Structures are given as C-alpha cells and as structure tokens.
Amino acid sequence: MEGQATLRASRGHLGSLRLDEIRSTPLLTLRAAAGAVYLVGGTATPLGGDNTALLLDVDHDATVQIRSVAAAVARPGPDTPESRFTVHARLGPRATLRWELEPGVAAARSAMVSEVYVDMAADARLWWRDELMLGRCGEPSGRWSSYLHVDRGGRPLLRHHLSLGPTPATSGPALVGDWRAVASLLVVGNAPGGRTVRRPDGQAAALSLAGGDATLVSAMAVDHPALRSLLDATVVQPPQLLP
C-alpha cells in the first residue's frame, strides 16, 4: 500500500497552535490531542511493500510536537520484506518541531527504510529523536536503514545514515556489538555541549556539530528503558514546548 499524510501548522490567536491542514491515509492517521499530534498506524504497518510518506509544514513562530501511540513493528510482507517511511519537514522562521515517536522494531526477516528530510530556517528549533529495537524479544533482528538529512538556513547541517541488520557487516562490533537498542537524538537550538555517558546497561555520546548550536547524540543499550534513561542522562530534557 502507498499513501501520504499531511500536517500544516501555524501560530494561532494568542500563540495557540493552529492546524491549517491535517490529512491522513489508510496507512497513517494523524490525531491532535493533549498538546501534541499523534501518529497512529491505520493498518498493521509497516508491512513489507508499504510506502508511507508524511509532509510536515510548520509556519513561522509555530510549535509542533509529534508523538506516536505505540512502537512501529516492521514486518515482512507476502511478496517483499522492504517497507519505506519518508518524512519531508519544513520549519519556518522561529518555528519549533519536536519529534518523539515510540521506538521502531526491526522484526525478523523485515527490511525497513526510513528517510527524513528537514529544511529549517536559521532561527528555527528542532528536537528529533529516533529509537530502534533490533528484533522483538527472543528473535533475530531484521534490517533497518535510516537517513536523516537536515538543512539549516539553506546550508547542510547534518547527513546521518545508519544501517543495521542480521549480517556482520551491519551489526558487528564496530557498530552496535551486542546492544539491542539504538537511538539518535538531534537537538538544534539551545543545544547542549558534548558529553559521554557509560554504564553497564549502555553508553551514549553527544557531539557538537560544526553548524553551531546543534548536537547529535548516539546511544546504545540493552533494552528500551535503559536506552531512554541514557538519552535523558546525556541531554537534559527541555521544558515542554506546548501547554
């Protein structure tokens, strides 16, 4: 199945969030609730053969928080293992986007490709968190490739690619070793400095980017609770962006 969902937001009266356009597809449903917009899988997605796209447009001075209601379990389809999820996001001047989905799960024999393209104004802010579980409990991992392309003020800020899976080339000791949970967090605007956290249940490192006021955090852990705890320990959570 294929489909594109759309969310266009702007700053409303007295600073409130105004959703100018919200359009869902059978594969992806958007729901506004409790100060955030939630992504809800319309079917048993992502399933091999699915191609889902999301268009985000956050106008000047607007603040949008994106969450999901559950983990996204990538599974192989009857004819092909690969599914694809593409996000195109535009952030206007002084706009803020906070992306905080529940983790993706690369189930056995699946193949997931996630591509994200963010075009943000020089004074926009971004908090983009990606979390991945390599397989469900007691099963081997499928393949998962993620691409994060961020331009800021018309110039490249980040080109990040991570490919993990069941083969030694994509899951060896040079990448994640025996860790089963992996995350990256990009903070642009009010970004923290570099920091490293090492614990028995995982490790994380924050790297300041050359573009200025931007930090990329990479983390690996034994499970999802440890992974989330590591991210919180590496980067202090900012105040809630929405009331």
Query: How many Å apart are CA 111 and CA 198, to the nearest integer?
Result: 30
Exposed (0-12), middle (13-18) or buried (19+): which is 198, by Cβ within 10 Å? exposed
Lowest mean pLDDT among 92-101, 108-117, 134-143: 134-143
Q: Which H, E and C letters describe 80-113, residue by residue?
A: CCEEEEEEEEEECCCCEEEEECCCEEECCCCEEE
The arithmetic mean of pLDDT across residues 6-29, rounded, is: 90
The arithmetic mean of pLDDT across residues 181-195, rounded, is: 90
Instruction: Report whether pLDDT(13) > 90.
Output: no
Lowest mean pLDDT among 36-45, 66-75, 90-99: 36-45
Model pLDDT for residues 120-171, shown as the tens digit of each residue: 999 999 999 999 999 888 788 899 999 999 999 999 999 999 888 876 445 5
Q: Note whether 35 and 63 are within 8 A (CB).
A: no
Question: Please, what's the b/e burial string for 135-167 (b: 16 or more CB within 10 A of its CB; e: otherwise)?
Answer: bbeeeebbbbbbebbbebeeeebbebebebbbe
Strands 125-133 and 2-11: unpaired
pLDDT of res. 170 = 53
Q: Note whether 53 and 25 are within 8 A (CB).
A: no
Q: How far is CA 197 from CA 46, 194, 230, in A?
A: 33, 10, 7
Both structure tokens of 161:
């690619």
Lowest mean pLDDT among 116-130, 169-183, 189-203, 209-223: 169-183
- Which tops the pLDDT comparison, 122 or 35? 122
Name the average pLDDT for the chain: 88
Q: What is the CA radius of gyration of the chain?
A: 17
Q: How far is CA 192 from CA 44, 63, 197, 234, in A?
A: 37, 20, 14, 9
Q: How many CB atoms lie within 10 A of CB 209?
A: 17
Query: How many Å apart are CA 228 and CA 143, to the nearest integer?
Result: 22
pLDDT-based confidence at 48, cuts 50/70/90?
Answer: confident
Q: How many CB atoms lie within 10 A of CB 192?
A: 14
pLDDT of res. 41 = 75
Model pLDDT for residues 50-89, shown as the tens digit of each residue: 899 999 999 999 999 999 988 989 988 888 878 999 999 9
Q: State pTM to two decimals.
A: 0.90
Q: How far is CA 181 from CA 36, 89, 173, 197, in A?
A: 25, 26, 14, 16
pLDDT of res. 45 = 72
Highest mean pLDDT among 13-27, 87-101, 182-196, 224-238: 87-101
Q: Note whether 22 and 6 are within 8 A (CB).
A: yes
